[in-house]
Chains A and B, each alone.
Chain A
Amino acid sequence: MKSLVFLEHHGGALEKGGLGVLGKAASLGDAAGVVLGEVAVAVAAGAGAFGASRVYASEAEALAAPLPQPRVDAMAGLVEQTGAEAVLFASSVLATDVAAGLAARLDAGLNWDLTDLAVQDGGLVGKRPALGDTVLVDVGWTSSPRLALVRSGALDPVESGGSAEVEEFEPAFSDFSTLATLVEQTTEAATGPSIEDADVIVAGGRGLGSPEAFALVEELAAALGGAVGATRAVVDAGWYPYATQVGQTGKTVSPRLYIACGISGAIQHKVGMQGSGTIVAINKDPNAPIFDFCDLGVVGDLHQIVPKLTELVRSRA
C-alpha cells in the first residue's frame, strides 16, 4: 500500500503525532511524508529516520501561515502526482481541517478518530473505538484514496534509522485557497514540559488531599525527568492547570512510564492514559478501579511513599 503522511512541524522539529502515523504506515507499505510551510525542507529529512521512503516538502509562501486551504491544494496535487492510495493524518486542529477539505476536494472517504491501522486483503482498514471506547470496530472505505485521521497520541513513533530523499515541490494554488489571511496567532504559555511528548508522567488526583501536596508529584516528576499530569477532579477544583489534565476531556498520553498518585482510575481518566507503557498506581483504597488495569499497584499512603520514592530515584541518579 502506498500512502502519504501529513507531517506537522513546530519549532524546527517534526511533531510526534505525525511521526507515529508515519511509522505505522511504513510498516504497512510504502510511506512518503509531506512537510509544508516555513523551514519545511530542512525539517523534512528527519522523517527518514521514522520510516519515510521519501519526503515531499514545500516552503511556498502561501503555506507560511497555518491555514488549511493552501495545504488542501498541495495535498491534492501530491495525491494526483504520486497515485497514493491512502492519505494519513495525525489529529490536530490544522490536520482535521486539511483532511476534511481534502475529502471534499477529492470526493474521497475520510475515517476519523482511528486508534490503529492495518492492511486487509491489500487495502487499508482502520480501527475505531465506539460505544464510549468500550469496543473497537473495523472501518473501511468504498473508494480511493482512503483518508484517515488518527487520534492524537494513539501511535508511537518508531525509529527505523533509515533515511529519505527530500523532494521539494511547487504546489499549484487555486485562487479561492489564498483568500484567507492570518490576522493574529497567539500561543498559550506552556508550563513545564508538555505532557503529550513526555516519556515519564507523574500524575496526581484527589487522593493528594490538597493542592499543596502536588509538590510531592512535581518533585518525583523532576527526579525522573518527566512531566506532571492531573485528573479532572483536581483541575476542576483549581489545584492544577487545565493544560495538564489527562483523560477523556483532557489530553491523551502514552508515556513509557505513568505513575498515578491518589488517582482512583475512573474510566474518564483511564481512556486518556491506558496506552502508557508501564502504569504504576499508588492509592490507599484497595478497591480503586485503577488497580484493575495498572501494571504495578501500591496500596498505601502516597504522602509517605512518594517522597521516599523521590529520594530513591535521586540517590540513583
Chain B
Amino acid sequence: MARPIDFPPPFGPTDAIGVPTDPPDERIEVGVLIVGGGPGGLACAIRLGQLLDEHPDVRERLGDVPVAVLEKGKQPGSHLLSGAVVEPRALRQLFRGRLTMADLPTYGEVPGEAVYVLTRRSAYRIPAPPTMRNHGNVVVSVSELGRFLAEQAEALGVAVLPETAATKLLVRDGRVVGVRTGDRGRGRSGEQLSNFEPGSDVTAGVTLLAEGTQGLLTSAAIERFGLQGENPQIWALGVKEVWRVPRPLRRIVHTMGWPLRSFAGYGEFGGSFIYPMGDDLVSVGFVAGLEARDVEFSVHDVLQELKTHRLVWKILGGGERVAWGAKTITEGGYYSLPSRFNAPGLLLVGEGAGLVNVPRLKGIHYAVESGMLAAETAFRALQRGEVPSRVGALDPYDEALRASRMWKELYEVRNMRQAFDKGFFLGGALASMMTVTKGRVPGRALPTHPNSGAPLIKTGRAGRYPAPDGKYTFDKLSSVFASGNRTRDDQPNHLELTTRVRRPVAEAWAWMCPANVYEVGQDLGDGMVSVAVTPSNCVQCGAITAKGGRLTPPEGGSGPEYTLT
C-alpha cells in the first residue's frame, strides 16, 4: 500500500539553517528577535516591553530596536485561525494591573454549552466530558486578538514587522544568532524581477521562535540541536467558516461522531465546534487528525457534509458565509514535546513547541503563558553580567515551564490523543479512564505514529460529500477566495514535495488540501503520476508537512488575509 512517507520532499529541516552572509554593517541588529506575530510571540513581546519600561537601563543597552516581531502575514492576525474558546487566565496575568478582559476583543464568556454525538439523522446530547467544560472561558477570534496584541506591543515600543518571512535560522559556533528574512520580488523560476529586494540578516541576543503550527525554523532548530521528543509530532487539520446568522446562538456546541466513520481502520478522529461570536456571527469548524487513511478524506468536504445535518442547519440556515480558513493543529501532546525548549541564544514558544492541550481543545493560553515565561528568561539573560548565548543561560525557561500548571495539565492528558488510535468508542472509554485516574492509566507512554506513515486506502469516501451549491455548501476554490488570499502568482513555488509519486499519494494530497493546491497530473506509467501544484492558492495550513511534503514560507505578505477567524 502506498504511503506518503515513501516520497520524502527534496528538502530537509536543516536546509533552513545558515550562517550570516550580509556584511556586518548591513545586518539588522535587534535586542530580542521574535519570529511569529501570534498570541505566543506577541505575549512575549508585550511582557518584554513591560519589563523594559520598568528597567530603562536594560532597554538602553539593547539598542535602537530592543524587541522586534517578524510576521509573515499581511498584518498581525492575517494568518491566525482557531475556534476559539480561550481560557483567560494567561491573558489576565499578562495585562494584570493594566487591562481587564473587558478591554480585550472577545465575544464574552461562554454562555452555555452542549456536546452531541451525531448520526446522519440524529443528535444525541451527552454530558460534556470533563476536559471539554468551558465555564468561565471566553469566545474570541484569534485573528482579532492578534491584531489587538500587536497594537499593545507597538505601544510598548516593540517593532512589529508584517509581510516579513523568516526563512533561515542563523547559527554560528553552535549558537543561534538570528534569522534571515525572505527575498521579495522573485519570479517563478527564482529570477529577480524589477521590484526585487533581497532578504536581510536580522541578528539578536536572543531569538525566540513562536511560529505556531509547522514552524519551519522550529523544526530546523529541533533537528539541529537534537531536541526531538519521545514520540514523533502529529497534527490535525481544522477548517472553519464564519457565518452571519439570522438567529443568535446562545451556547457553544461540540459534536463527535458523524460525518466521521468510527471504525479504527479508517483513522478518522475528530469533531466539530460551533461557537457564537456575538448575536449575528457564528464560527463553525471541523477538526480531524491527519492520520486519516482514505485517499479521499478531505476535512473541507467533511465540514460541508457536517453542515447538511439538521442540528447545524438549524443554526446556520438562512445565513451567509462571510469567512473561511484552514490550519493544522499540533496534536502530539506531552510525549511529543521537544526534550528541551531552549538552545544557546534560542527559545521555543507556544504551539510550534507542541504546547497544545488536545483533549481540552486549547492552546492559545499556553502560547501566551509560555511567551511570558520566555520573555522573563530572555530579560534576565540580557542583564549586565549575563551572556544569553552561554550554554545554560536560558535554562530557567525550561525550569519555569516544567513548574507551571500547563505542564501538569499536559502530563495528566499525556496519552489521551493516542487512545483514539483505537477508534472512537474504545478510545472514548480509555480517555474516560485516563481522566478519572489523572493520566495514571495505562501506566506507560502510548506511541504516536507519523501522519505521513499511514498506508492509504480507498473506500469511496468522496461519495458522501455534498455537491457544493455556492450558497450553503462550497467548493475549495471559492473558499480560498473567502480566505482573502490574493497571493501573487508569479513567485517561486514554496511547497517542497516530490512531484512524481504513486497515484494514491497524489490523490490523497489533492483531497487533503483544503485550498486546491494539488492536482493529480499526468499518468507516468507503472502506477506513478505527476503532481500539479498551484502554490498561490495555498493558505499555509501546513497539512502537506504532516503528510509527506514541506511548507516553507512564501514571499512575506502572501497567503490568506484572515480578519475574523
Contact = CB atoms under 8 A, between A and B. Distances in A.
Interface of A: 131-132, 134, 186, 232-233, 235-237, 242, 245, 248-250, 266-268, 271, 289, 292
Given A131-B323, A186-B194, A289-B470, A235 B489 contact: yes
Contacts of B478: 266-267
Contacts of B482: 131-132, 134
A289 B477 CA distance: 12
A132 B490 CA distance: 21
A236 B489 contact: yes
B447 interface: no
Interface string B515-554: 0000000000000000010101000000000000000000
Nearest to B195: A93
A34 to B, nearest CB: 27
A267 B489 contact: no
Contact of B489 (A131, A186, A242, A292): A242
B477 A236 contact: no
Contacts of A242: 489-490
Contact of B322 (A131, A249, A266, A292): A131
Nearest to A135: B322
Interface of B: 194, 322-323, 470, 477-478, 480-482, 484, 486-490, 532, 534, 536
18 contacts: A131-B482, A132-B481, A232-B534, A235-B489, A236-B489, A242-B489, A242-B490, A249-B486, A249-B488, A249-B489, A249-B536, A266-B477, A266-B481, A267-B477, A267-B478, A268-B477, A271-B481, A289-B470
Q: List 3 tightest A-B contacts by C-beta distance, closest first.
A: A267-B481, A266-B477, A267-B478
Nearest to B194: A186
Given A132-B484, A236-B489, 11 more contacts: A131-B482, A132-B481, A134-B322, A236-B536, A248-B486, A249-B486, A249-B487, A249-B489, A266-B477, A268-B481, A292-B470
Contacts of B534: 232-233, 236
A245 B489 contact: yes
- Chain A CB within 10 A, most for which of B323, B484, B486: B486
Chain B at the A interface: mostly helix, strand, loop or mixed? Answer: mixed
Contacts of B484: 132
B294 to A, nearest CB: 25
Contacts of A233: 534
Contacts of A186: 194
A237 B470 CA distance: 26
B485 to A, nearest CB: 9
A250 B323 contact: no
A289 B487 CA distance: 22
Interface centre among A235, A245, A248, A271 (most CB of B within 10 A): A248
A249 B537 CA distance: 11
Contacts of A235: 489
Contacts of A134: 322, 482
A245 B489 CA distance: 10
Contacts of B480: 268
Nearest to B561: A132
Q: Which of B481, B532, B536 has the most chain A CB atoms inside 10 A of its CB?
A: B481
A233 B486 CA distance: 14
Contacts of A245: 489
Nearest to B322: A131
A61 B70 CA distance: 41
Contacts of B532: 237
Contacts of B536: 232, 236, 249
Contacts of B194: 186
Contacts of A132: 481-482, 484
Which of B194, B486, B489 counts the most chain A CB atoms within 10 A? Answer: B489
Nearest to A269: B477
A186 B192 CA distance: 14
Contacts of A248: 481, 486
Contacts of B487: 249
A210 to B, nearest CB: 13
B244 to A, nearest CB: 10
A167 to B, nearest CB: 35
A245 B536 CA distance: 14
A250 B489 contact: yes
Nearest to A289: B470
A233 B537 CA distance: 11
Contacts of A236: 489, 534, 536
A134 to B, nearest CB: 8
A245 B487 CA distance: 14
A218 to B, nearest CB: 22
A95 to B, nearest CB: 17
Contacts of B486: 248-249
B555 to A, nearest CB: 13
A45 B480 CA distance: 46
Contacts of B322: 131, 134
A232 B489 contact: yes
A302 B490 CA distance: 28
Nearest to A247: B489
A180 to B, nearest CB: 16
Nearest to B532: A237
A268 to B, nearest CB: 6
A289 B478 CA distance: 11
B133 to A, nearest CB: 34
Contacts of A289: 470
B557 to A, nearest CB: 13
A182 B59 CA distance: 40
B298 to A, nearest CB: 18
B277 to A, nearest CB: 15
A209 to B, nearest CB: 13
A249 B481 CA distance: 11
Contacts of B470: 289, 292
Contacts of B323: 131
Contacts of A232: 489, 534, 536
A239 B486 CA distance: 21
Nearest to B535: A236
A45 B489 CA distance: 39
A237 B530 CA distance: 13
Q: Could you say which of B478, B484, B487 has the most chain A C-beta atoms within 10 Å of its C-beta?
A: B478
A232 B489 CA distance: 8
Contacts of A237: 532
A186 B534 CA distance: 29
A7 to B, nearest CB: 24
A269 to B, nearest CB: 10
A229 to B, nearest CB: 15
Nearest to B482: A132
B520 to A, nearest CB: 14
A242 B487 CA distance: 14
A233 B487 CA distance: 14
B74 to A, nearest CB: 14
A266 B482 CA distance: 12
Contacts of B477: 266-268
A266 to B, nearest CB: 5
A249 B322 CA distance: 21
A236 B484 CA distance: 20
A117 B344 CA distance: 57
A200 B532 CA distance: 32
A250 to B, nearest CB: 7
Nearest to A131: B322
Contacts of A249: 486-489, 536
A248 B534 CA distance: 15
A292 B478 CA distance: 14
A92 to B, nearest CB: 14
A236 B516 CA distance: 14
A128 to B, nearest CB: 15
A171 B391 CA distance: 63
A203 to B, nearest CB: 16
A114 B102 CA distance: 35
Contacts of A266: 477-478, 481
A43 B85 CA distance: 61
Nearest to A271: B481
